[in-house]
Structure 1
Amino acid sequence: MSNKYIEEASKLSPRAKAMLEDFKADLEKGISRIGILNDEEIYQAELEKIFGKRWNYLAHETEIPNNGDYVLRYIGDDKFIVTRDSNGKINAILDVCPHRGASVCRAEKGNSSHFRCPYHGWNFKNNGELVGAPAFKDAYDGLDRSQWGMKHAPRVEKFHGFIFACLDEYAPSLEESLSGMAWYLDMIFSLQDEGMEVLGEPQRFTIKGNWKIAAENFSGDDYHLMYLHKSTYDIGVMQIPLKENMKGYHIQAGNGHGVSFSIDLESEDPLFFFYPEEIVKTFNLDNLSEDQLRLARGSRVCVGNIFPNISFLMLPLSPDPKNVPPTPLFTWRIWRPIGKDEIEVFNWFFMYKNTSEEFKRASYQAAVSSFGIAGTFEMDDPVPWETMTRNAGGTFAKKHMKLNLQMGLNGMGTSKQVMDWPFPGIAHYPRFEEGNQRAMYRTYIEEMLKDE
């Protein structure tokens, strides 16, 4: 494929370009365009301009702890084998045989020193190196095997054990791309020296919705808890009253990332996301800066989205309010686009390594019952997301329907910018505002219109 073909393929049509430029003009007035939530050409451009350029989460190192371990994961519509090779190095290898293009990996996870293509038997080490093929001397004598190994993602980096890959070799480093979000994630992941580990397998399920809806929800849509998730408070799953939960901060963390905290910075009692005292004793608070310690100490709930499609949440919930007290949980998921109107959710649950197995089980149970496939929160969200996506495909709606993103803009409502915010990013208090969503879409439009 020539570079000219690639450049032409990534160019937007006048129609799609006009949609995005209209959105850009309206966004500063707090208005979004429903049409971008279900459009085939926009989706195809996103695969190249967003997922092909930004850092994508693939796996956690605790999923592949041993040499030879691997898992299958995705970046957009490309499938990668994430391996810890025989030398302990982590690789992200495109699951495409360079002979005729077949997939070589036929299991979602496992341990193997080699991968063999089922079509003609080309054989590769777990670092992607071609080592042989049937009747190699007769068929390929003289072939330079070093030139025909499997294709690697150009960039692979880790952040506290979380493995990311980028398909653009010229992109900024992962930490630079994370911008201010790196500071907040470092606070969470550094609470314990041993860091976090995955609990069980990632859950996978599909939603007939557009990935941007889910991403903007986790970027800063705390407002929907007051109605869509009201039943979770009514039955005691969530212990923080819903209006009290809105007392906190939305932070635009740079590069389209958004994070939100329900918090009491003036609390005399340390909160630490309501971790029990025996868990807090395992934290090494010397790992945190003075500012990080202050924020962690007063935090009740944290939710965020790493642009484009990585979302996380830490809060205490109960799987059985009448019998089981709320337990802190940490869920981390990606909204993998598999079409303009469908996403596949990869949903991981984590806990700090140096905690008891009993506490890990309790946290996992709380997480699965609330943010698992059939969880009390998880079952609520797809209902509006699916109707939003379906409505966005309507002929009249695509042309004429605008959506309101004005909460907290130009003095609307009670939320105001915190001018003396001491931590990274731009903050607003309380959480009755949609600035994080607007910031996410501002980055999205910038990426989509780049080089047009």
Structure 2
Amino acid sequence: MEIEDLIIDDRRRGIFRVHRSSMTSVDLFRREQGQIFDRCWIYLGHESEVEHPGDYLRRTIAGRPLFLVRGKDDQVRVFLISCTHRGALICRRDAGNADVLQCFYHAWSFNTNGKLIGVPGEDAYGPYFDKSELGLKQPPRVESYRGFYFVSFNPYVDDLVTYLAGAKDYLDLIVDQAEEGMRVIRGSNKYTMKANWKLLVENSLDGYHLVPTHQTYLDYISSLGTDDSGQTAASRIVGTAKALGNGHCVIESPVRNGRPIAHWHPLFGEEAREPIARVRQRLVEKYGEERTHRMADTSRNLIIYPNLVINDIMAITIRYFEPVAPDHMEVTAWHLVPREESESMLATRLDSFLTFLGPGGFATPDDVEALESCQAGFRATETEWSDISRGMLSPAKSTDELQMRGFWRQWHANMQGLSHTDVQDGPVTETEAVPALATDD
């Protein structure tokens, strides 16, 4: 099947379908690496994870080993980990602090600015051997927004703020909740799924599955004293869905189960009621009631295309997933919190995070089972298409699928060598597709 035929997007009839080979084909998976992960901005880490000079963290991004490090000059830099001598990995740990990073193979040493500063037996090299030519290599583009660092292997990619499009406003809503800035809690949750990475994109934006898939969690919350008792898919108050441009999408819903940021719930205990009220009052004084309502009383699941999800629900989770094969991904999740939060409120937030979003929580095992079940179902190749048409001809709700269509339209454009597309529902416009930026190859 030709790439242009992988998606049926009939906006007049309200039909949107995705061919399931997009989830199973090795050839398409390889094409994704070149057309998407080598060309877009990809999330690397948060500035708070390298807070002090010498702090570094190691990540695998778009299949490449990278590390983020803060130098003695307080500048944050990103380097490919591969030693410029024979290629061995420089960083042997996921995180740490060091003045010098030494390759264990032949002991070539680099400082936190990436310069080669030590070569054992350097006198064995000829007169034209120049250490200044052999420093650690950097990705073509590195930029940050509000503490979130991204890399791109495409030197011609739009600047990060332009790329973020409407997602930028939602990052602002998250970061502005804190008085002294946000920080990532040390440690992470890591797990794998035997499923295609795009299934997790869909799932992270899918309000439709909440009641049938996570009923156990809703029953648990109801037992603690909330008005969710007896909720059904038909009666539950739903939120809205938006496509934000460039494949970024979001769902927003009213907060019902409490959030440590300015929305109390019985599960937090009476001692948390007053501190939460003080947080809310501070937000109102600084931002006004309308913006505070969006911050405190509205939850959001945000996808930053292609593979970063930020869940700002009962806790704030940064979730990054690295595609490994058409049917395999590696997932890492971190917890983002306000710097000024008290120990007791932080404990409440962490408990909320692990209860729902942790690998052993109420939600994540359900979701893993659902996505792996989908991937297993794709082996029934005679059923060729997945339907993502819900809500296509009506105003989008969080239980509809506009947000997934926004992602898929961007994916489809990228896979055809286009950089932008009209990700909204509605009539196709003349600006639906714009050719990708030229490269030098």
Normalised to the residue count of structure 1, the TM-score between the two structures is 0.82
Change (3 A) 1:91 1:289: farther
Q: State how far apart, in whole Å, the 2-side matches of 1:273 and 1:334 are.
A: 27
Secondary structure of the residue aligned to 2:313 is strand
1:82 aligns with 2:49: no
> What does residue 417 of structure 2 align with?
450
Contact 1:35–1:393 at 8 Å: present in 2 too?
no
In 2: Cα distance, 1:110 partner to 1:217 partner: 33
In the alignment, the residues of structure 2 paired with residue 290 and residue 53 of structure 1 have an alpha-carbon distance, to the nearest angstrom, of: 40
Aligned with residue 278 of structure 1, among 249, 260, 275:
275
66-75 or 46-55, larger mean C-alpha shift: 46-55
Match of 1:303 in 2: 301
- Which structure 2 residues correspond to residues 159-198 of structure 1 after superposition, within 5 A? 159-198=145-184
Q: Give 1:31's aligned residue.
A: 17
How many residue pairs end up in the alignment? 396
State the AA in 1 paired with 2:414.
E
Which residue in the other structure is 1:345 paired with? 331
Matched letter for residue 359 of structure 2:
I
C-alpha distance 137-441 of structure 1, shift in aligned 2 (>3 A)? same
Q: 404, 409, 429: which one pairs with 2:387? A: 404
Give a deviation string over 1:29-69, Cα, whole Å, max 9, x none: 21111111121111111122111111111111111111000
> What is the CA distance between 1:378 and its match in structure 2?
0.6
- The 5 Å alignment of 1:368-447 reads 368-393=354-379, 396-397=381-382, 401-410=384-393, 416-417=394-395, 428=396, 430-447=397-414
Give 1:288 shift.
4.1
Which residue number in structure 1 is paired with residue 46 of structure 2? Answer: 60
**Is the 1:192–1:284 Cα contact (8 Å) retained in structure 2?**
no
Structure 1 vs Structure 2 CA RMSD:
2.3
Question: How big is each residue's C-alpha offset from its partner over 1:401-420, in whole Å with a ceiling of 9 and x where there is no partner?
Answer: 1111111022xxxxx32xxx
Residue 248 of structure 1: aligned partner = 239
Correspondence list, 1:136-155, <5 A: 136-155=122-141
Which residue in the other structure is 1:365 paired with? 351
Query: Would the aligned equivalents of 1:225 and 1:242 in 2 still touch at CA under 8 Å?
Result: no
Q: What CA deviation, in whole Å up to 9, does each residue of 1:254-281 have, x standing for no partner?
A: 11111111138xxxxxx95548552453
Measure the CA separation in 1 of the matches of 2:209 and 2:140: 39
> 1:377 Cα shift?
0.5
Correspondence for 1:231 among 199, 216, 220: 216
SS of aligned partner of 1:158: strand
Show the counterpart of 1:112: 98
- The answer for unaligned runs of 5 or more in structure 2 is 256-260, 266-272, 419-435, 437-441
Matched residues in 2 for 1:360 and 1:125: separation? 35
Calculate the TM-score normalised by the size of structure 2. Answer: 0.84
Aligned in 2, Cα 1:286/1:186: closer, same or farther, shift over 3 Å?
farther
3-state SS, counterpart of residue 370 of structure 1: helix
Secondary structure (helix, strand or coil) at the match of 2:125 reads helix
Counterpart of 1:125 (choices 107, 111, 125) is 111
Question: Which position in structure 1 is the counterpart of 2:190?
Answer: 204
Aligned CA distance change for structure 1 residues 297 and 171 (closer, same or farther; 3 Å): same
Alignment check: 8 A CA contact 1:222 1:246 kept: no
Cα separation, 2, equivalents of 1:287 and 1:42: 48
The structural deviation recorded for 1:155 is: 1.8
Which of the residues 71, 78, 81 maps onto 1:92?
Answer: 78
CA apart distance, 1:199: 2.0
Q: Using a 3 Å threshold, how does the CA distance of structure 1 residues 286 and 143 change in structure 2: closer, same or farther? A: farther
* Counterpart residue number, 1:71: 57
Whether contact under 8 Å (1:160, 1:195) holds in the other structure is: no
Instruction: Give the stretch that moved more between structures: 358-367 or 138-147.
Output: 138-147
**Once the two structures are superposed, what CA deviation does each residue of 1:185-242 show, in whole Å capped at 9, x if it has no partner?**
20121122312111231111111111100012223x1010110111111222795445
Could you tell me how far apart the structure 2 residues matched to 1:384 and 1:274 are? 31
Distance 2:254 2:63 in 1: 38
The amino acid that maps onto 2:213 is L
- The alignment partner of 1:163 has SS state of strand
Return the offset for 1:157.
Answer: 1.9
Q: Is the 8 A contact 1:191 1:285 kept in 2?
A: no
Read off the aligned partner of 1:177 and give its amino acid letter.
Y
- Residue 263 (1) aligns with residue 254 (2): yes
SS at the partner of 2:110?
Answer: strand
